[in-house]
């Protein structure tokens, strides 16, 4: 099984038919569904909330009965209450930005306590130093290769150095942590991100803009093929059912 995961971002989908769009990209070969949450405070845009996540969850089932993971990226402040709500709504992974909470360690731990995998996201101008101190509570590191807030932006080349450093930190930890990159991912840029150490790729316009989504995803996988040496176990996409809002809210009390 490939070590790479492709996570189409619903930010680039047709919001009038999100259920159909979700089913279509999963049928086309998507591994995860990336769900961008923006509050018009942390970033200058406003998207969707937990009710939409819950409604889309039933559309993530593949033809073989397995489920694509719902990968929720919270670009909000404050973040703790929404993390609780998304855990209850069926998120499998919840990623936060360290600037959005006063207690990063506690928030990450609480996300896990709710039955979700925890992720930590770093903007282009954010240093990675904090990761060293919370890496034991992180299941995913997300490197933003654009400034967050809008889809369709160009890949920031300086992000490659950050991906390389994050890969070294993850490998040194000995932990099974996904390294995701988000922003400007196309068939032309995905190989460079993989060479730098990323194994999970958020792609918006590159997947949703073409009429043939299966061909778009194949193009991404073809670009990844030279770098595809297994690192993770084949069972790493097993869905963990969230314990619900109570566990997370209690941990944050």
Which residues sit in the known binding site for substrate?
9, 73, 149-152, 182-184, 204-205
Establish whether 182 is a catalytic residue: yes
Is residue 139 among the annotated active site residues?
Answer: no
Calpha distance 101→42 (Å, rounded): 11
Residues making up the binding site: 9, 34, 36, 73, 149-152, 182-184, 204-205
Which is catalytic among the residues 39, 92, 182, 199? 182
Distance (Å) of CA 7 to CA 21, 30, 64, 113:
13, 6, 19, 24
DSSP string for the chain: --S-EEEEBGGGS-GGGHHHHHHHHHHTT-SEEEEEEEBSSSSS-B---HHHHHHHHTT-B-TTS-B-EEEEEEE-SS-HHHHHHHHHHT-SEEEE-GGG-S-HHHHHHHHHHTT-EEEEEE-TT--STTHHHHGGG-SEEEEESS-TT-SSPPP-TTHHHHHHHHHHHHHHHT---EEEEESS--TTTHHHHHHHT--EEEESHHHHSSS-HHHHHHHHHHHHGGG----S-TTTTPPPPP--HHHHHHHH-
- Which of 31, 36, 80, 92 is catalytic? The answer is 36
Which pair of tokens denotes residue 78? 């404050």
C-alpha–C-alpha distance, residues 134 and 155, integer Å:
27
Distance in angstroms (rounded) separating the CA atoms of residues 83 and 244: 10
Q: Looking at the annotation, which residues are catalytic? A: 36, 182
């Amino acid at each position: 099984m490939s070590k790479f995961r492709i996570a189409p971002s619903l930010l680039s989908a047709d919001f009038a038919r999100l259920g159909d769009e979700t089913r279509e990209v999963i049928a086309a070969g998507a591994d995860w569904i990336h769900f961008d949450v923006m509050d018009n405070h942390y970033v200058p845009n406003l998207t969707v909330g937990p009710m939409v996540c819950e409604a889309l969850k039933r559309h993530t089932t593949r033809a073989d009965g397995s489920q694509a993971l719902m990968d929720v990226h919270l670009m909000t402040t404050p973040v703790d209450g929404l993390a609780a709500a998304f855990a209850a709504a069926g998120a499998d992974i919840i990623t936060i930005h360290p600037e959005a909470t006063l207690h990063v360690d506690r928030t990450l731990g609480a996300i896990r306590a709710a039955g979700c995998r925890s992720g930590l996201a770093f903007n282009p101008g954010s240093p990675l130093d904090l990761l060293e101190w919370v890496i034991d509570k992180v299941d995913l590191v997300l490197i933003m290769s654009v400034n967050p807030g809008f889809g369709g932006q160009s890949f920031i080349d300086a992000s490659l150095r950050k991906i390389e450093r994050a890969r070294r930190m993850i490998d040194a930890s000995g932990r099974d942590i996904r390294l995701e990159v988000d922003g400007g991912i196309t068939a032309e840029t995905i190989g460079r991100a993989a060479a730098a150490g990323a194994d999970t790729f958020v792609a918006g316009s590159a997947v949703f803009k073409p009429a043939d989504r299966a061909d778009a995803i194949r193009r991404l996988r073809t670009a990844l093929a030279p770098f595809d040496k297994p690192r993770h176990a084949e069972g790493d996409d097993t869905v963990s059912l969230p314990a619900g809002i109570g566990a997370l809210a209690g941990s944050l009390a």
